Amino acid sequence: MASLAGKTAVILGASGSANFGSAIARRLAAEGANTVVSARRAEPLTQLASELGGTAVQCDVTREGDIELLFKQALETHGRVDIAVFSAGIHSGVAIADLTAEAIRPTAEISFIGALLFFRYAAEAMRDGGSVITVSSLTARIPGPGLAVYSAARAGIDYATKVAAVEYGERRVRFNSIAAGLIQTDMTDDFFAMQSIIDAHINATPCGRMGTLDDMAEAALFLADERRSGYINGQVLDLAGGQQNGRLPRF
């Protein structure tokens, strides 16, 4: 029996052909969940919803009303929301010395403010408890140059999951985050064209390989399923093959 049969999952940030949101949506649908996929771009979103037999809802995460409407439509369509995945984000690589307020705001609006509002409306829609999952990053665990804005936004939300776990505990809504290492997606394709970058990551990863979209999808399924992870709450799951630990160089 499909482990998520009868459950409804809302996945925000699922308009890419090969990104975390779309991979997670496919995995949850394969386990029987009704899927509501959401993003700003309509065409790929509609294609994914058609593939999964799900529902597509356009949502600009910088608009609070869009997030509220996303969960309202999910409830109207399926009568319940059990799983909510926040996978929206944009890459930002600017050194602190070059930062301006204008350079900071887009990432803050999407990855921090948008995520917090997603927490609010997801939890309100979960009338019988549920699981809220945020896709975070290894860069929120290990610092790197040029990543102050991107990493800080992710790290802030990682901590906010702990606060949310406390605030919504009585309503049986769990909050967890997945801190992903470098995995090939639509957004990171350019990095994978440079073998030196890949070799450096593999050398720093005890598992000895790069992560995959399947790794992300399986991690999300684990946190989404009450029977698999019902006693895990307010945690950051490192999905980086051990790279998050850091280590002294080998001689």
The residues spanned by each domain of the chain are 8-184+211-241
Task: Please state the rounded mean pLDDT for residues 177-201.
Answer: 90
Mean pLDDT along residues 62-85: 98
Nearest Cα neighbor of 87 from 175, 182, 186, 11 is 11
Q: Which of 121, 150, 159, 168 is catalytic?
A: 150
What is the rounded CA–CA span in Å between residue 240 and residue 205?
7
* Overall average pLDDT of the 28-37 stretch: 98
pLDDT at 2: 86
CATH class, 8-184+211-241 region: alpha beta
Question: The dihedral of CA 27, 89, 46, 44: what is its sign?
Answer: negative
Instruction: Give the list of residues 6+ apart from residue 48 with CB closer than 8 angstroms, or none.
Output: 14, 15, 22, 25, 37, 54, 56
Region 224-228 average pLDDT? 97
Average pLDDT over residues 193-211: 92
Active site residue 231: no
Q: How many CB atoms lie within 10 A of CB 48?
A: 24
Residue 249: per-residue pLDDT = 63
* pLDDT exceeds cutoff 70 at 248: no
pLDDT band at 109 (very low <50, low <70, confident <90, very high): very high
**Residues 51-72: tens digit of each pLDDT:** 999 999 999 999 999 999 999 9
Q: Is 39 helix (H, G, I), strand (E, B) or coil?
A: strand
pLDDT for the residue numbered 185: 87
Query: Which of 110-119, 188-197, 217-226, 230-239 is least confident?
Result: 188-197
